[in-house]
Amino acid sequence: MKWLIAFVVVFSGMTPLLHGADAPETRPVYVIPIRDEIEESLVYVVRRGVKDATARNAQAIILDMDTPGGKVSEVEKIMGLLENFKGNTVTYVNNKAFSGGAFISVATRHIYMAPTGVIGAAAPVLLGPSGPQELPGTIQKKMSSALSALIRAAAQRNGYNSAVVDAMVKETDGLTIDGKEIVKKGDILTLTMTEATALYGKPPKPLLAEGVATDMKDLLKKLGYFESQVHYFKPSGMERIARFITYISPILMLIGMGGL
């Protein structure tokens, strides 16, 4: 009888632990789209998505990314939102992560690439009425230095090679790893899927991205989230309207100037 009582006590004490081990599998995974230009209305979408994921104790946030970049101030806000999330964070470069997209990617703990994915070209430019323009020499150096420090800090926190991400921001003296030239002197680094996932060093480690996924389902399977509840987060109607107004704001400004 004593042995039976002891067995019941021990088993009853273990049961919550067993349930606790299974609990993470029931927690949702959030997929948040990072599409088109990164601007203020997109920050609202990401903030709402991160807040919702936090409230539901989500185990991970995956950024489904295809962006040419955007405003530095808005990129920094999104990076801060991701760094404050307690769960896992992943970027899926679903075509391109240029400029600010590369910054945000490095702010997540893991990066995966689509077969056609490219990432990099994060040098600062000035957006004028006629499109992107080069910054004056002194301002270019100051901006590049500041942004380089920002992306290096994010890279160091998440275990990426800071020299690689630094080469995406400014024209360096070139970057060579294991005797192979990654980027030439004076060039800005942009990586294809093959280049980003290539292994270097001892022990071998990917240059930037952990692996390749053909689509979101393939990525979820590789991350071990295939059986989890996946919530594909979408912008609200008002957020979509705000994005549309942002896109046409230059035209509205020209119409206003013409009216004046």
The per-residue pLDDT for range 155-181, each reduced to its tens digit, is 999 999 999 999 999 877 789 999 999
**Is 21 a member of any domain?**
no
**Is 200 a member of any domain?**
yes
- 186: domain CATH number is 3.90.226.10
Q: Are 112 and 213 in contact (CB under 8 A)?
A: yes
The per-residue pLDDT for 145 is 83
Strands (E), 141-183: 175-177, 180-183
Residues (pLDDT < 70) of the chain are 1-25, 126-140, 236-250, 252-253
**Is 103 a member of any domain?**
yes
**Is 241 a member of any domain?**
yes
Longest dimension (CA), the chain: 95
Domain that holds residue 146: 26-259
The per-residue pLDDT for 75 is 96
**Is 2 a member of any domain?**
no
The per-residue pLDDT for 17 is 40
Q: Judging by beta carbons within 10 Å of its beta carbon (0-12, 13-18, 19+), is residue 137 exposed, middle or buried?
A: exposed
The per-residue pLDDT for 16 is 39
**Is 11 a member of any domain?**
no
The per-residue pLDDT for 157 is 96
**Is 177 a member of any domain?**
yes
The per-residue pLDDT for 27 is 93
Domain total in the chain: 1
The per-residue pLDDT for 250 is 63
The per-residue pLDDT for 2 is 52
The per-residue pLDDT for range 31-67, each reduced to its tens digit, is 999 999 999 999 999 999 999 999 999 999 999 999 9
Residue-wise DSSP of 150-189: HHHHHHHHHT--HHHHHHHHS--S-EEETTEEEE-TTPPP
**What predicted TM-score, i.e. pTM, was given to this entire model?**
0.81
The per-residue pLDDT for 34 is 96
- Specify the pairing of strand 205-206 against strand 199-200: antiparallel
**Is 50 a member of any domain?**
yes
